[in-house]
Amino acid sequence: MDQFKQISDDSDSDGDDNYDDYDDLHDDDDADFRSFHENFKQRSEASSTSTTQRAPRQREGRERLFSSSETSRNPLNAQKSSNSSNRRRRGEDTYQDQEAAPERAPVSKGMSRFFVTCHPGLEEVVAKELSSKEIRAQHVEIGASGVSFVGTLETAYNANIWLRSGTRVLCELASGDLDPLESGFDSVYDFVKHCVPWQEVLINAELTFSIEARVWSNSQISSTKLACTRAKDAICDYISDACGGVRPRDPRDFRGNKVKADVPLFMTLYKDRATLYRDTSGDSLHRRGYRSNLSVHRAALNEAAAAGLLHIAGWPEALDEWRSQREEDDDISPPVFIDPMCGSGTMVVEAALMAMNVAPGLVRYKNGGYAFQNWPDFNEDVFLDCIDNAEKKRIAEEEFHQFSDQKNKVTCLGNDIHPGSVSLAQRSALAAGVPHVVKVYQSSVDEWVVPPSLLESKRRSICTNPPWGKRISLDSRMSDVNRNRSGSSNRDSSYGGENGYNNEDQDNDEERWGGGDGGGDDYNEILPGDVNSTEAGDAWRKLGIFLKREMPNQSAFVLSGDPSISREIYMRASRKHVLGIGGVDTRLLRYDILPPKPKKADF
Q: How far apart are CA 67 and CA 51, in angstroms?
A: 6
Rounded to an integer, what is the distance from CA 316 to the centroid of its chain? Answer: 18
> What are the structural domains of the chain?
112-279 (3.30.2130.30), 303-358+396-470+536-593 (3.40.50.150)
Please determine, for residue 313, whether its predicted confidence score (pLDDT) is greater than 50. yes
Q: Which long-range contacts (CB under 8 A, 24 or more apart) does 138-144 make?
A: 138/105, 138/111, 139/105, 143/38, 143/39, 143/40, 143/42, 143/43, 143/115, 144/1, 144/4, 144/35, 144/36, 144/37, 144/38, 144/39, 144/120
- What are the respective helix, strand and coil percentages of the chain, to the nearest 5? 35, 15, 50
Confidence of residue 6 (pLDDT cuts 50, 70, 90): very low
Highest mean pLDDT among 214-218, 291-295, 345-349, 519-523: 345-349
What dihedral do alpha carbons 575, 580, 586, 590 form, nearest 10°?
A: -20
Highest mean pLDDT among 92-96, 404-408, 556-560: 556-560
Q: Cβ distance 161 to 365 under 8 Å? A: yes
Summarised one tens digit per residue, pLDDT across range 117-174 is 999 999 999 999 999 999 999 999 998 889 999 999 999 999 999 999 999 999 999 9
Please determine, for residue 428, whether its predicted confidence score (pLDDT) is greater than 90. yes
Please determine, for residue 583, whether its predicted confidence score (pLDDT) is greater than 50. yes
| Size (the chain), residues | 603
Summarised one tens digit per residue, pLDDT across range 479-522 is 332 333 233 333 333 323 223 222 323 233 333 322 223 333 33
Residue 304: name the closest of 134, 470, 125 by CA: 125
Residue 483, class by beta-carbon neighbours within 10 Å (0-12 exposed, 13-18 middle, 19+ buried)? middle
Summarised one tens digit per residue, pLDDT across range 7-41 is 333 333 343 343 443 333 333 333 443 444 444 34
For residues 410-438, give the mean pLDDT.
Answer: 94
Confidence of residue 597 (pLDDT cuts 50, 70, 90): confident
Residue 113, class by beta-carbon neighbours within 10 Å (0-12 exposed, 13-18 middle, 19+ buried)? buried
Summarised one tens digit per residue, pLDDT across range 57-92 is 333 333 333 333 333 333 444 333 344 444 333 333
Tell me what pLDDT residue 297 has.
62
Q: What strands lie across the sheet with 273-279, from one edge to the other?
A: 138-142, 146-151, 112-118, 166-177, 273-279, 263-270, 209-216
Residue 128: Cβ within 10 Å count: 14
Q: Which run of H or of E encompasses 7?
A: strand 6-8
Please determine, for residue 535, whether its predicted confidence score (pLDDT) is greater than 50. yes
Q: How far apart are CA 142 and CA 39, in angstroms?
A: 9
Q: How far apart are CA 192 and CA 201, in angstroms?
A: 13
Q: Fill in the DSSP letter of residue 280.
A: S
Average pLDDT in the chain: 75
Q: Which of 44-53, 372-381, 511-520 has the lowest mean pLDDT?
A: 511-520
Residue 562: name the closest of 527, 536, 583 by CA: 536
Confidence of residue 326 (pLDDT cuts 50, 70, 90): confident
Q: How far apart are CA 376 and CA 153, in angstroms?
A: 12
Tell me what pLDDT residue 275 has.
93
What SS3 state is found at 331? Answer: coil
Tell me what pLDDT residue 217 has.
80
Tell me what pLDDT residue 245 has.
87
Tell me what pLDDT residue 508 has.
33
Tell me what pLDDT residue 569 has.
93
Q: How far apart are CA 147 and CA 124, in angstroms?
A: 8
In percent, the amount of the chain with pLDDT more than 70 equals 70
Please determine, for residue 318, whether its predicted confidence score (pLDDT) is greater than 60. yes
Q: Cβ distance 111 to 76 under 8 Å? A: no
Compute the half-sphere exposure of residue 144: CA atoms within 13 Å on the CB side of its CA.
17
Q: Cβ distance 272 to 177 under 8 Å? A: yes
